[in-house]
Structure formats: C-alpha cells, structure tokens
C-alpha cells in the first residue's frame, strides 16, 4: 500500500471533517500518501481529486459539514459509472479507499470492492445512527444535541401557551434521534418507524395526558413515521379539539460544530480505517461496539437491523406519565 483515497458521501454529518483529518494524519504517520476525492462518488466518477497532506487538514476538526464536499451520486448507480471511477483510481495509483458515509455510501463502496477488486474500508458517518455494527455513527450525538436545544425552546412556548407541539426530527427510516431526544427532552410521546402505531392511539395518549392535568405536550415524531408530524398533529386536533403546532427541524440537525463525542469517534475510526487497510482488510466498515473496534462486512451494515434502544423507548414513555 503506497497511496490511499478518502471521500465523504451521502448526507453530511458533523464529525466528517475530523474523520478525514484522522485518515490523512494516520496515513502520513505510516508513510502513505492520500488523495482527497471531492463530492463523494461523483468526484470519483469525474476524477475530481487531489493529494492531501497533513497540513491540508489543519483547523477542520471543529468544523461541521465536510471539507471534501459530498453528494448522493446518480452516476455511481450504473456499472459503467463505477468502472470509470475505478479507472480514475488506477490512474492516480490509489490502491486503497476510505469511504465515510451511511448505508447508501456503503452500497457504493461494496460494489466498487466487488467489481474492481479495490481495497475499501467504510467509516460510519451519518446523523441517523442506523448502521448495524457500531453503537454510534459519527454525527449522531451532535444532531441529538441540536434537536434537543430546539425542543427545549419549543417547550418554553408550549408551556406558556398551553399548547401541543408536534416536532419532527430527522431519520428517514430510523427513530434513534427521536428516542434519544424524547427521553432527554421529557416528551409526552415519541413515534418512530420501528414501532408503528395507529394515529388514533397516539391522539388518545395525548388526550389522556391532558386529562391527567398536563396543559402542554411535546410529541416527537421521527421523519420516517407514517403520516409524519403533519399527520400526527391533525389526528391529535381531531381527537382532542386542541390546537397543535408543527415544527419540522429538518436540515438544521445536520450542521454545526461536532460535539466532543463525534470528534473522538471520528478520530478513532478514521485512524482505524487506515490501519485496517494496512492490515489487508477490505469490504468492511469499522465501527465501535462497547468501546472496542468492530469490523462488519458492508452488506451487514444495511441488511442486519439495528433497532432503537428498547430501554430508552420504554423510559421515554413511562416517565411521561
Ligand atoms: O441520512 C441522513 C438524513 O439527514 C436523513 O435523516 C434524511 O432523511 C435525509 O438525510 C435527507 O436527505 P437530503 O439532505 O438529501 O434531503
């Protein structure tokens, strides 16, 4: 191994920069060169890449977003697109690649390794925390803090106006952010795709909490819950006759300076990814489980299900009585 590539792909996540820095600095420590590929797999397809030295990644550990830019690549969906990317890597004499991203990015990485025999290691970077094989993904903790800050603020208004607030957090297919935020924010109800529930039942829960003397309520809805926040709010108004307000937090959850936890995780896993390539590993994501490095084949990261933490889900609901 003489030269490796690194790219960030899919939705940006706070801590991606710290991961890129760790990859570049670790490579330098072991005497490897690094090529930084811009705009994820799009940049690989277009040959948009340059050498990155240890000084090029100075002053980015604390920054949100990704210095390498990112994309959800259409070009990578075709075998021809991937072959063109592999050709660019050959031309640049890159013989190992670190892909920082979520499940979509790992699907792309898996195909590259399979079809072109390239050594590829994945680093989990997504706010959704929905990858099997790692307790946490880079960006998740920061996103939770950002959403929680918003929930605390909305609670002030909800309490002052004696209103029901329905707040939608990100998570297209996953409720990890929702459960964590609901428990930390003292929400009355949390709705996640992993625990489907009829809207009538949701409305009934809110109605009962009002009967128990609550004058305001916070309902946290994961983006992927059927009906979304709007549907939930409508059902609550129909059942209780009370006014509701909907807030969709959206992309604000993806930005901002990474929390310490995400910077540390990114640093550890970025280093581990380069060391994995040096050890001859490929076709795997490196994560952390119970504070130990954990390697899982790419396919398992999306085929095996990582459920929301049942104990937290239960606590969030039990403590809202
Ligand atoms: O995967 C991260 C995520 O933020 C999801 O929670 C959300 O559904 C999706 O990305 C939004 O994607 P985009 O930024 O492409 O609209």
Going by alpha carbons, the residue nearest to atom 14 of ligand 1 is 11
**Could you tell me which residues come within 8 angstroms of residue 186 by beta carbon, excluding any fewer than 6 positions away?**
155, 218, 319, 320
pLDDT digits (tens, 9 = 90+) for 212-246: 999 899 999 999 999 999 999 999 999 889 999 99
Say whether 206 sits in a helix, a strand or coil: helix
Compute the distance from residue 251 Cα to the ligand 1 centre, in Å. 8
The verdict on whether 56 is a catalytic residue reads no
Q: What is the dihedral of CA 248, 180, 164, 151, to 10 degrees?
A: -60
> Closest ligand 1 atom, CA of 171?
6
pLDDT digits (tens, 9 = 90+) for 62-99: 999 999 999 999 999 999 999 999 999 999 999 999 99
Compute the distance from residue 12 Cα to the ligand 1 centre, in Å. 9
Write the ipTM: 0.98
> Closest ligand 1 atom, CA of 223?
8
Averaged over 243-263, what is the pLDDT? 97
Which is catalytic among the residues 128, 130, 135, 156? 128
pLDDT band at 294 (very low <50, low <70, confident <90, very high): very high
Residues in the chain: 321
Ligand 1 probe mutation, 9, 11, 42, 223, most atoms within 8 A of CB = 11
Nearest to 189 by CA among 229, 227, 130: 229
- What pTM was estimated for this model as a whole? 0.97
Averaged over 113-136, what is the pLDDT? 98
CB 32 within 8 A of CB 2: yes
Q: Is any atom of ligand 1 closer than 6 Å to the C-beta of 105? A: no
Q: Is any atom of ligand 1 closer than 6 Å to the C-beta of 161? A: no
DSSP string, 24-50: HHHHHHTT-EEEEETTHHHHHHHT-EE
pLDDT digits (tens, 9 = 90+) for 146-200: 999 999 999 999 999 999 999 999 999 999 999 999 999 999 999 999 999 999 9
Q: Is any atom of ligand 1 closer than 6 Å to the C-beta of 254? A: yes
Nearest to 175 by CA among 65, 10, 289, 316: 316
Averaged over 255-267, what is the pLDDT? 98
Question: Tell me, what's the pLDDT at 141?
Answer: 98
Report how far residue 186's alpha carbon sits from residue 249's, in angstroms, rounded to the nearest whole number: 17
Question: Tell me, what's the pLDDT at 258?
Answer: 98
Report how far residue 301's alpha carbon sits from residue 106's, in angstroms, rounded to the nearest whole number: 8
Compute the distance from residue 223 Cα to the ligand 1 centre, in Å. 10
Question: Tell me, what's the pLDDT at 232?
Answer: 96
Question: Tell me, what's the pLDDT at 299?
Answer: 98
CB 320 within 8 A of CB 189: yes
Q: Is any atom of ligand 1 closer than 6 Å to the C-beta of 250? A: no
**Could you tell me which residues come within 8 angstroms of residue 114 by beta carbon, excluding any fewer than 6 positions away?**
283
Share of the chain above pLDDT 90, in %: 97
Report how far residue 301's alpha carbon sits from residue 60's, in angstroms, rounded to the nearest whole number: 28
CB 124 within 8 A of CB 137: yes
Question: Tell me, what's the pLDDT at 274?
Answer: 98
């Amino acid at each position: 191994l003489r030269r490796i590539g690194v790219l960030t792909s899919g939705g940006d996540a706070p801590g991606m920069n710290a991961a890129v820095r760790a990859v570049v600095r670790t490579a330098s420590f072991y005497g490897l060169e690094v090529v930084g590929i811009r705009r994820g797999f799009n940049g690989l397809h277009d040959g948009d890449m340059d050498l990155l030295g240890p000084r090029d990644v100075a002053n980015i550990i604390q920054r949100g977003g990704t210095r390498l830019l990112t994309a959800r690549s259409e070009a990578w969906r075709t075998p021809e697109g991937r072959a063109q990317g592999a050709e660019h890597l050959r031309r640049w004499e890159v013989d190992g690649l670190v892909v920082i991203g979520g499940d979509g990015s790992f699907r792309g990485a898996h195909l590259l390794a399979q079809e072109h025999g390239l050594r590829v290691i994945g680093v989990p970077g997504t706010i959704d925390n929905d990858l099997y094989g790692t307790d946490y993904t880079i960006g998740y903790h920061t996103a939770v803090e950002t959403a929680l800050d918003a929930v605390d603020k909305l609670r002030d208004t909800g309490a002052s106006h004696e209103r029901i607030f329905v707040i939608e957090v990100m998570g297209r297919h996953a409720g990890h952010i929702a459960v964590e935020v609901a428990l930390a924010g003292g929400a009355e109800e949390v709705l996640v795709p992993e625990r489907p529930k009829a809207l009538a039942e949701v409305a009934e829960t809110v109605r009962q909490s009002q009967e128990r003397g609550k004058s305001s309520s916070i309902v946290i809805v994961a983006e992927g819950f059927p009906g979304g926040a709007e549907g939930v709010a409508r059902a609550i108004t129909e059942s209780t006759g009370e006014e509701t307000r909907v807030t969709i937090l959206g992309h604000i959850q993806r930005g901002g300076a990474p929390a310490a936890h995400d910077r540390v995780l990114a640093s550890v896993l970025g280093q581990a990814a380069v060391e994995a390539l040096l050890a001859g590993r490929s076709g795997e994501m490196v994560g952390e489980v119970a504070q130990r490095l954990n390697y899982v084949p790419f396919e398992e990261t999306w085929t095996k299900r990582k459920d929301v933490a049942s104990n937290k889900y239960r606590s969030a609901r039990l403590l809202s009585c």
